[in-house]
């Protein structure tokens, strides 16, 4: 399950879940996260995006779930002083341990990367998942290679991001390390909605 030795990573708790390969646009205005973004841009480094278990995005530091996704900044803009607009891309999942609150209000954790799930074909009985995903992504401005819709890991991650699940359900899907079980859960949800 683990892919390499632990290392430290600054964490950014949010009321959302991002899966590996996913993209997310963020507006940064809190001082602690402005510093985090500046440091990441200066060092070309990454940070951890994690869902909030307790607390809120703004104000007092929130308590995040231990499993999150390491992200890198792919685009950024500063439309006015004190505000960053950034786009991040999900890299790999991690498990955070020994979370420590820094003086700046940023959480730093020792993280253990989780091994990437191996790409695999989608079984015939779960073909509803890529078909629904194609429909959802039809208005996507970025073209998606057709081969991605044959990859059970990619389809499972993208559907998990886009379907209207509660935060805890998305978190459970992120923590799951079994591609086909994730797809079966998504397939069952889609079939229930179609009734």
Q: Does the global pTM surpass 0.85?
A: yes
**Fold agreement (7-113, 124-194):** no
pLDDT for the residue numbered 50:
95
pLDDT for the residue numbered 101:
87
pLDDT for the residue numbered 65:
96
pLDDT for the residue numbered 145:
64
Alpha helices in the chain (DSSP H): 31-43, 128-136, 152-162, 167-175, 179-194
| Burial per residue of 15-38, b for 16 or more beta-carbon CB atoms within 10 angstroms, e otherwise | ebbbbbbbebebebeeebbbbbbe
Rg (CA), the chain: 17
Q: Which residues, listed in sequence order, are joined to residue 50 by a DSSP beta bridge?
A: 13
Q: How far is Cα 14 from Cα 58, in angstroms, rounded to an integer?
A: 9
> Could you tell me whether strands 67-80 and 83-101 are parallel, antiparallel, or unpaired per DSSP bridges?
antiparallel
CATH topology of domain 7-113: 2.30.130
CATH topology of domain 124-194: LON domain-like fold (1.10.4060)
Closest CA to 153 of 125, 124, 176: 176
Write out the chain's pLDDT in tens, 195 residues. Answer: 444 566 899 999 999 999 999 999 999 998 889 999 999 999 999 999 999 998 766 667 778 999 999 999 999 999 898 899 999 999 999 999 999 988 778 899 999 999 899 999 999 999 999 999 998 888 766 666 677 999 999 999 999 999 999 999 999 999 999 999 999 999 999 999 876
pLDDT for the residue numbered 25:
94
pLDDT for the residue numbered 41:
95
Rounded (5°) CA angle 186-192-195: 145
pLDDT for the residue numbered 195:
66
98: left (phi over 0), alpha (psi -120 to 50) or beta: left
Provide the 3-class DSSP secondary structure of residue 22. coil
pLDDT for the residue numbered 106:
87
pLDDT for the residue numbered 193:
85
Domain limits of the chain?
7-113, 124-194
pLDDT for the residue numbered 108:
94
């Amino acid at each position: 399950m683990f892919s390499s030795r632990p290392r430290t990573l600054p964490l950014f708790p949010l009321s959302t879940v991002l899966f590996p390969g996913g993209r997310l646009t963020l507006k940064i205005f809190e001082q602690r996260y402005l510093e985090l973004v500046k440091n990441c841009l200066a060092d070309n480094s990454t940070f951890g995006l994690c869902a909030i278990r307790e607390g809120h995005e703004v104000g007092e530091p929130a308590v995040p779930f231990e499993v999150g996704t390491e992200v890198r900044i792919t685009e950024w803009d500063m439309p006015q002083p004190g505000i960053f607009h950034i786009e991040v891309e999900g890299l790999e999942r991690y498990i955070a341990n020994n979370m420590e609150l820094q003086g700046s209000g940023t959480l730093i954790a020792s993280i253990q990367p989780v091994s990437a799930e191996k790409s695999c074909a989608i079984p015939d009985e779960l073909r509803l998942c890529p078909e629904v995903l194609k429909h959802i992504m039809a208005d996507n401005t970025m073209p998606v290679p057709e081969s991605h819709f044959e990859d059970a890991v990619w389809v499972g991650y993208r559907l998990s991001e886009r379907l209207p699940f509660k935060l805890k359900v998305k978190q459970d899907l992120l923590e799951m390390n079994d591609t086909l079980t994730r797809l079966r859960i998504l397939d069952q949800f889609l079939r229930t909605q179609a009734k």
